[in-house]
Amino acid sequence: MTEAGRRVEVIEKRTLYQGYSRLYEYRLRHSLHEGGMSAEITREVMARGHAVFVLPYDPVRDEVVMIEQFRIGPFANGDHAWSLESVAGMIEEGEEPEAVARREAREEAGLELGEIIHAYDCHTSPGAVSEHISIYCAHVDASTAGGIHGVKAEGEDIKVIVMGFEDIMQALDDGRINVGPVIVAVQWLAMHRDEIRERWRT
């Protein structure tokens, strides 16, 4: 593989595990900053597809619709197992990210989204995970939000929580929001709040 004058030479790729996620082992060499190629290195990478995160925002009420659900990662790490998050979902083959955002908003929060604005694309943990995330902010009527949602066949038990803008900034500051892409989404809202309120309130 070549990228802007740099090369990655894959010597071998093996599947170590395949289940909810997949684990691959790569043996490879890559271009060095000082020139030439690296020695052969071995790296494992977890592959679990690509995801969409969407932050539903009501510009009139100045409220954000969040969700709370059990998460195995924080639990396994000894942290608080119920995460305060935004609506999110995996992109299936052939799907567009905005379509995923709308589907997941219905399934996880019972919401119909209005206009969707793309905020960022990012990688969750580039040293070990191939997952790529698209982050959006979406217009919503927060007065309709509430209740328990999720796809029971997928083991989902999701509580909807509506938070005022100042409350969500406090949750970010005190660490109650501790999921990386959600932190990014909330910070994007903080930077662009005035312009999107003006855009969505007219």
Q: What are the residue numbers of the active site?
A: 154
Backbone φ and ψ of 95, nearest 5° = -90, 150
Read out DSSP for the chain?
A: -EETTEEEEEEEEEEEEESSSEEEEEEEEEB-TTSSBPPPEEEEEEE---EEEEEEEETTTTEEEEEEEE-HHHHHTTS-SEEEE-EEEEPPTT--HHHHHHHHHHHHH------EEEEEEEES-TTTB--EEEEEEEE--GGG--SEE--GGGT--EEEEEEEHHHHHHHHHTTS---HHHHHHHHHHHHHHHHHHHHH--
Distance CA 170, CA 154 (A): 32
Instruction: State both tokens at 69.
Output: 């659900």
